[in-house]
Structure 1
Amino acid sequence: MQQKIIYILFILSSVISYGQVSINVNPDKNDYTGKDVVNLTIVLEMNGSEYNQQTPIRLPDLSKFNIIGSGSVNNTYVDPATNTVITQRVSQLALEPKQKGKIKIGSVLVTVNNKIYKTEPFDILVKEVDKRSASSASNEVYLNMEIDDKDIYQDQPTVAVLKAYSKNMDNFRKVKNIHLPQQDNINVHPISFVKSEIDPSSSYGNMASQVLAVFMVFPNAAGYVEVPAVSASVSSYSNKNKIISNRVKLNVRKLPEGSPECFKNAVGNFNVSIYNASKEKVEIKKPINVVVKVTGEGNLSDMELPKIAESPDYEIFTPKITSAVAPGTTGIKGEILASYILIPKKAGDINVKTEQFAFFNPANKEYVDLGQETLALNAFSHDQIMDSKTTVEKVNEYTNNFLETVNTPVLKTTSFKVKEKGKFHWNILLTNMAILLALFVAYLLFKTWQKKRTLVKESVPSKSLGSVAETENEIRQSLKTDINDYFSYLENLKDNEDYHKFFQTIDEMDTEVRKEYFQSSTEDFRRFLESYKGSAMAEEYRNLSQKIQMEKYAPVKSPEGMDQLLKAIVNLYSQISK
């Protein structure tokens, strides 16, 4: 009898265990920090071959997270004890919290055999990031890098803000030498290094905060991308410490499928045009300047530009790239010019075409194919061009060639070149003849003045050598640089945006000023200023030298920043040269 009861209980337990559906969700832990990744494991188990999963697993509202990764695996096996088919589906999600505090994760739903199964909702706690952990060498100033938009497309920019936190507001002026992150899978372009006003109250304890830098990050690879830390130095009279910020994880989405064949890596909104920059008539076997212009906003500084397509009708050379760009709201905006030297090989009509160009517009989430741009040229032979010119035009051309080759330091004659006109102008011809006569007279006067100057030098008696102090003063006066000439030249270079020559002239001016005081290196000159001009001027000279180096190697130079830099240079070097 007892054996029968045991057998019946065994049968009942088999029936109860046969044909069950269970679903559950388990986080890897309950408490997280803002830098942690929340890992959720979803397990759906069906015991019995008669169960059919009718819907995929439906996730709850995860808008408070960035989904940075997911994966799933299916397992099916037979329980040898009960001869039951067991199907198990395991899914995992990697989530990044967007906010701090208590976050509720709702129920996960699935429909099996017309019945809905769900899990119980639960809460997780996300704590504030301890910004002190971002510091490596200083226990007084902390850096924190903040990026709001962490879910972007490949080659789409996101804005990063670097903030400093400290209980002592005086520490903010000690933070210098900011180095932006560098990594192969991201491109970084600075927006501003101008420090903001100090915020006395921040979200982290009783610390004050200040924005130190704003920059754009362009991820050039899809997937899970981590932006490296930003480093800076905290300088004081006693020591110099290095501090680093936190790292930020980005979820970089892959660009949608269905891109045109001509699409490369342009993300944003762009236009392409082509034009002939040469004003002369197009002549075969003579070079002309053809420009491909790309305007718009996006990854303008990093994208691959459309080239001029090759053709047997002309020969092209490697272009010179010039750009006028600035940070915008959705990327780098402005224009980039590719100037090609093109030599026609035949006379007649020539069509110069660009390569096909397409870009992805993240605002509309679609690809835009601009196709090809065409420039129509009409090339002439040398005989055709000479036959089309009048006698007056030939005279003017000869005069222009003479003025180009005979240029003097007294008068820049190339500015008097004759422009081609449709009719004859006597006043232009007379002006050219007057210029030639004036040049000849100026040459004679210059020779006469030079002879008189030589005679005066010979008649002047030799002066006494004088004392050592007088001799040193004379040497210093002879070496003294007219600093105002440098200031005017730097102003012209800044207005013309010739920044390479601008910084080269600054180095030349600094060398000349140091020679006045017989100092060979900047460090010796700084110690000289500290001894004879005061420590405040020496510190200002050191800070200006660092600022010049930062602006010199910055990928994007703003007109406002260059204006401020020039004002600082004029102010400091004017005081030094007094």
Structure 2
Amino acid sequence: MKRLFFLLLTCLFISTSAFADKTKFTATAPNVVALGEQFRLSYSLNEKGEGLKLPVIKGFRVLLGPSTSTNMSTQYINGKMTSSSSYTYTYVLLAETEGKFTFEPAEITVDGKLVKSNSHTIEVVRSSTKNKQQGTHQSTSAQAQNITKDNLYLKVNVDRKSVFMGEPVKASLKIYTKDVKVVNFEQFKEPSYQGFLTQNIEGSNSNAFQGENINGEIFYTYTIKEILLFPQHDGEIIIDPMELSCIVQLTAQARSRGFFDDFFNNYKNVRVPRKSEPVKIKVKPVPNNAPKSFDGAVGQFKMNTTINQDSVKVDDAITMKVTISGNGNMKLINPLKFDFPADFEVYDPKTNQNLQSSAKGMTGSTTFEYLIIPRHAGDFTIPANEFTYFDPNAKRYITKLSPEFKIYVEKGEGGISNTTISSFTKEDVKFIGKDIRFIKTNIFEPIYKGEIFFGTLNFYLAYILPLFIFLMAFVFNRKRIKQNADVAKMKNKRANRVAMKRLKAASISLKANKKEAFYDEILKALWDYISDKFNLPLSDLSKDNINGILVEKEIEKEIITDFMAILDTCEFARYAPSSGSSEMDSLYQKTIDTITKLEKNIK
């Protein structure tokens, strides 16, 4: 009879738990609303229910509701049909009283079972409508001037500004806006987080702006990213500012609003750059009275140590697992070092981590798996070990102790005990090499291989050659420095090389059929050549004085005529109709020939 009673009780518990897990009844509403503002309070249910009962609503007036909507969907996955449905009950409320109000859970009946929703808190604040009223009559330029750092700004929020070394800081990167419609953002530059190890909090940012009460005013905030920061050294660490450009939508002013104006996009988007303020974090060192077993773990942890068997045969494997779970800098926890018996062969531990990053920090577990192989028979003990961490809440060190394990190892197959090696036990073998060693006592003479290097020709050359090379390098370097000091001479020497580089760029433009770029490069090659060759600034050069300079240098008249003709052709071709590729080819070759002839004729 008792067994039947417990069986029925267990079935009832399982069915109730399954029902509770299957049915979801959720209340949603804004977190902050303005006094006199209308908003929606919605209850969503994934199964059909009846008899919805609202909690007592104080400080709000129910204007409409409940308005019921149903959504049903059917899917075929791998030949199997699955269907789901959702029911939403919506109320429209009016905020009439300033303050914070908590909506108690609503109740509804599903298949004869009473289901409760979650509770929800709404804050009602007094909000000024001055800016909103002005915005409807202002031009877009006036609206843009009204966008200041008071109604649109960025901020890096941290949950604490003073932490212990290794204690995480949760940072939220957010946009704050009031009476400004931000439709997008771009060119996001995240802080560098120097001095911190970082871990992103997955799924923390929402896809919509949320209302917040900032000094009695409603600001709409968007969380770009949330991240955990683990300080790597003590002292003051600064979180650099973040930067981004907000795309703000302004209402364009119309001369006369018609019936169809609302159906068209009468808006203008402007880009507003913003930059947050740097944030200072004070990192305190952990107390200096740390036990020897402390290895940098900070947080709240538990330790569990197990072995899969305590009675084995020689060469059979034993697995020992050390699992550390809790909340803290889990990724920085190192494997524990056990004092295993000398007769055990132990491999490096394998690490398995199951970690989750949330607003509360990094939680989960880290497991170290040790593979142990006994090589000799006997009774052995794996001594207890300590794991010490610093609890920042309690501000003290806490030590967890693993149990002591007794291991019995039997002889291997064939009755071989393997307990001795050449009449020495393994414990004795450990001391071989630490005891007295005998030196070699027989008489021997060293044998020299080859001739003695000291005093030979190669010996003296090894000193003389490096000194000679150093002197040659010194003289060459002094000569090069003296030549580089004569700027005019250097420019003269490299004039032809610079011109050829310009002509190479012109050749690329010629192959790409870029007319303007081709003629520009030809002109630059000629002007730069004359400037470098005669040490004249470009601003003092003109076609007239170039002709005079070349005549003065006794350049052949034919070369001067060709040079001036190329200048005229390039200047004319930049504004003339497109030339053919053959004409550009011939001009390119003519320029090379002319510069080559000039280089030979200039004295």
TM bucket normalised to smaller: 0.3 to 0.5
Scaled by the length of structure 1, what TM-score is found?
0.37
Q: TM-score, normalised by structure 2?
A: 0.35
